[in-house]
Amino acid sequence: MLKIFNTFSLKKEDFEPFDKPDVKIFICGPTLYDYTHLGHARIFLTYDLLCRFLQAKGFKTDVLVNMTDINQNVFNKALEQYTDYRTLTRFYSDQFIKDLKLLNITTITRLAHVSDYVKNIIQHIIFLMKNKNAYSANGNIYFDTKTVNDYGAISKQSRKQLNLHRMDIGPNKKNQEDIMLWNCSEDFGFSWGGDFGDGVPWWHIQDTTVAFENFGTHYDIHGGANELAYPHHEAHFAQYKALTVGENPVKIWMHVGLVLSNGEKMSKSLGNMVLSREIAEKYGQNLLRLYIFSTHYRDKIDYNENDLIDKKSLLEKIYNTINKTSDNTSQVISNLINEFFKSFEDDFDSPKAIEIIDKICTLVLQGESIRLQDFEKIIGVLGLSV
């Protein structure tokens, strides 16, 4: 039985999808104004691994990634480059798709641009206003977080703690922690006409609408970086529940740890960004996968090029093992293959799986036997291309 740590319950839970064998996964995607860095790459590699494992176990995965093309940073960059936001975001979504290919990420089935969903977002905001979950304050529309009783459940905050956050600052908000759904108060150079006035849809409702329009009232896993738990996922969850009128729409909140560079979060302003394409082009995606998966997905990684290079010997061993495959798999190796799959069942213990693959290679190179199909099956789960 696969167990996954659910941020919502803070426990490893048995994974039972709503509609077995189908598994619907939503991943918070990139904001389209820059290239993919290693932190982003880790997110998509992790869910690619999850999907490859689930597929090997007979599940059918359907992965939706939302790409944010309506955002303050996007507007600023378009302005800087004397271009319109659509030209800018189409360029970066093409680059994102190119990066996914370079990383051999093949399990994403749906890629969405938020700007294709603005009409739906407006409908959802009207619905939320009708049901008194949302209100207008000086033309901006906010979600009234007091209308859902367990707001704070994902980030484990009490109402008092939540109240300390001054979210989406604007005049006449009911509660400090209320989140903006529609922003009419700034000049972005363009806007959409909502029934409630011109403006642009704000961050959190974008995911909610994209997920709802694709997956309906519920889906199995919501994924993203752990730093997104508050306010982003908290807001998304509250909005989703308000739209589905109280159901529990998401089974598992599965968060991935950050990738640091020189001890700090990668960011453009700190100048410590490592682009995934640079690594993939210089070392190949196989090495990057072995490096990323050698740390548990919930732990942080402090990126160091030497640690990446250290994985070369294992990769060599894997290549050498392919040349040593034979017609049968010995009992010892067969047991290790079972252990390999079992390690994923315990909240995706990929470091253990990597250790086991190392052991398998060592034994095969010392004379134990493994069939090519069996070896391909395990390296296929890791997404190694040979």
Nearest to 300 by CA among 263, 270, 272, 348: 263
Which range in 126-134, 136-144, 207-215, 283-291 contacts Zn ion by CB under 5 A? 207-215
Q: What is the DSSP letter of 346?
A: B
CB of 382 to Zn ion, least distance (A): 26
Comparison of 23 and 114: residue with beta carbon closer to Zn ion: 114
Which range in 22-30, 92-100, 117-125, 308-316 contacts Zn ion by CB under 5 A? 22-30
Choose, by CB under 5 A, the member of 28, 78, 336, 354 that binds Zn ion: 28
State the residue for tokens 């989703």. Answer: 240
Comparison of 53 and 182: residue with beta carbon closer to Zn ion: 182
The answer to whether 212 touches 167, Cβ cutoff 8 Å, is no
Which range in 28-36, 255-263, 265-273, 361-369 contacts Zn ion by CB under 5 A? 28-36
By CB under 5 A, tell whether 238 contacts Zn ion.
Answer: no
CB of 203 to Zn ion, least distance (A): 8
**Under rule CB under 5 A, how many of the chain's residues touch Zn ion?**
2
Q: Which of residues 256-315 bind Zn ion (CB under 5 A)?
A: none
CB of 289 to Zn ion, least distance (A): 24
Comparison of 66 and 261: residue with beta carbon closer to Zn ion: 66
CB of 7 to Zn ion, least distance (A): 14
CB of 218 to Zn ion, least distance (A): 17
Q: Which residues contact 31 (CB under 8 A, 6 or more apart)?
A: 67, 68, 71, 73, 74
> To which H or E segment does residue 269 belong?
none
CB of 69 to Zn ion, least distance (A): 13
Which range in 204-212, 249-257, 283-291, 356-364 contacts Zn ion by CB under 5 A? 204-212
Comparison of 63 and 382: residue with beta carbon closer to Zn ion: 63
CB of 217 to Zn ion, least distance (A): 19
Residue showing the smallest CB distance to Zn ion in the complex? 28
Nearest to 143 by CA among 183, 113, 198, 115: 183
Choose, by CB under 5 A, the member of 144, 177, 207, 220 that binds Zn ion: 207
Q: How big is the CA angle at 66 (ends 212 and 100), to the nearest 5 degrees?
A: 140
CB of 233 to Zn ion, least distance (A): 7
Comparison of 31 and 104: residue with beta carbon closer to Zn ion: 31
Comparison of 178 and 207: residue with beta carbon closer to Zn ion: 207
* Cβ neighbours around 331 below 10 Å, total: 9
Comparison of 28 and 378: residue with beta carbon closer to Zn ion: 28
| Rounded CA separation 111/69 (Å) | 12
Comparison of 239 and 350: residue with beta carbon closer to Zn ion: 239
Comparison of 168 and 368: residue with beta carbon closer to Zn ion: 168
Distances (CA, A) of 249 to 50, 83, 203, 212, 351: 20, 39, 19, 10, 31
For strand 22-31 and strand 60-68, is the pairing parallel, antiparallel, or unpaired? parallel
* Cβ neighbours around 186 below 10 Å, total: 11
In terms of DSSP H, where are the helices of the chain?
Answer: 38-56, 72-80, 85-102, 118-130, 159-162, 203-215, 234-243, 276-283, 285-293, 305-310, 312-322, 331-345, 350-365, 372-381
Measured in whole angstroms, how far is the alpha carbon of residue 133 from the centre of its chain? 27
Chain residues binding Zn ion by CB under 5 A are 28, 207
